[in-house]
Amino acid sequence: MKKILISGSSGLIGSEVCLFFASQGWEIHGIDNNQRAVFFGATGDTRWNQNRISGAIGSTFHHHELDIRDRQGILGLLKTIRPDAIVHTAAQPSHDRAADIPFDDFDTNAVGTLNMLEAARQFCPEAPFAHMSTNKVYGDRPNTIKLKELETRWEYDDPYYMDGIKEDFSIDQSKHSLFGASKVAADVMVQEYGRYFNMPTCVLRGGCLTGPNHSGVELHGFLSFLVKCNLEDREYKIFGYKGKQVRDNIHSHDVASFISAFIAKPRVAEVYNIGGGRANSCSILEAFKITEKFTGKQQIFQYQDGNRIGDHICYISNLDKMRMHYPEWDITVTLEETIKQIVEAWQNRK
């Protein structure tokens, strides 16, 4: 039986990958120490998700209570397991929280990734290594694209970008936030281990990764937290850009499906902008309307003029490279279906 090691296995993408590969007959090894609860408090706790996937998978799921910052622990685990594939999703994921915990942010995102890479190089260098990066590696440079204001969203006013931002977009000379900077360090290191050591690595620069099993909080998990606020009659805060800022949203199942495609046919040091693309894009105002359609409740919100530092006004992932390299893969879950599932999941979780 093939073995896959997944860091951040209790998180949104990690848990989805666990279930996806378990359904394909793989032995699952998950690394998680519920650090989200440390970063975000009780609302970020992911133990419920760990219990969910453990119950769903059964005896072929092995949980490892380990912090990716523990270098010797990571080296020892990979030496013992020697997995056939690695999916690295563990991270400090908040754009805003990073400024308050810069050492924890960098040690988790950059150093933790290095620990994973070096352990892989020493003990399983042929194992495909898929790393969840972020579109925040582009910093605020997407805001330099010419935009136009529509009734409910900002939109690209440059035809070159109508299908979204490609992987050759510059990550240099822009404001990233400390989170973005730590993820840049990890992103480039994953590429370098691929190029320098000829390891099968890929970087997945995620747009808004979402789905029904997200523990959304204000500082991380846009759609999940928005839906939670709606259902609980809580005030949702919009930070700047008139609420017309645009994100493309991809369901966690489609992320796991692409990771599976990469592992089946790995390439060296590849970079992909993984998101929902134009079809699954929406502004905050548009997300309110879709959510209200499924909950029957009006969204309560407060608007603040100041935008988050380095935040994107409009970001849509160009999926052309992903589709060209892996033509068997495509988006399968629509934005409306995704939000519907998130609504139902919060209702059931309550």
**Residue pLDDT, tens place only, 27-78:** 999 999 998 777 878 777 889 899 999 999 999 999 999 999 999 999 999 9
Write out pLDDT tens, residues 58-69: 999 999 999 999
Predicted confidence at residue 219, as pLDDT, reads: 60
SS3 call for 214 = coil
Out of 3.20.20.70, 3.40.50.620, 3.60.150.10, 3.40.50.720, the CATH code matching 3-349 is 3.40.50.720
What is the C-alpha to C-alpha distance for residues 227 and 133, in angstroms, rounded to an integer? 24
What is the C-alpha to C-alpha distance for residues 187 and 165, in angstroms, rounded to an integer? 17
Q: What letter would DSSP give residue 314?
A: B
Predicted confidence at residue 191, as pLDDT, reads: 98
- 71 backbone φψ class: left, alpha, beta (φ>0; ψ -120 to 50): alpha
The alpha helices in 198-327, defined as continuous H runs, are 222-231, 252-264, 284-295, 320-325
Residue ranges covered by each domain of the chain: 3-349
Residue type, 291: T
Q: What angle do CA 167, 171, 326 make, to 5 degrees?
A: 15
User: Do the beta carbons of residue 289 and residue 215 sit within 8 Å?
Assistant: no
Predicted confidence at residue 304, as pLDDT, reads: 93
What is the C-alpha to C-alpha distance for residues 199 and 201, in angstroms, rounded to an integer? 6
Predicted confidence at residue 215, as pLDDT, reads: 73
Which secondary structure element, helix H or strand E, spans residue 17, and what is its range? helix 12-23
- Print pLDDT tens along the chain (350 aa): 999 999 999 999 999 999 999 999 999 999 999 987 778 787 778 898 999 999 999 999 999 999 999 999 999 999 999 999 999 999 998 878 899 999 999 999 999 999 999 999 999 999 999 999 999 999 999 999 999 999 999 999 999 999 999 999 999 999 999 999 999 999 999 999 999 999 999 999 998 999 998 877 666 678 999 999 999 999 999 999 999 999 999 999 999 999 999 999 999 999 999 999 999 999 999 999 999 999 999 999 999 998 887 789 999 999 999 999 999 999 999 999 999 999 999 999 76
User: Do the beta carbons of residue 197 and residue 181 sit within 8 Å?
Assistant: no
* Structure token digits, residue 92: 């400090």
Sign of CA dihedral 284, 318, 84, 121: negative
Predicted confidence at residue 135, as pLDDT, reads: 96
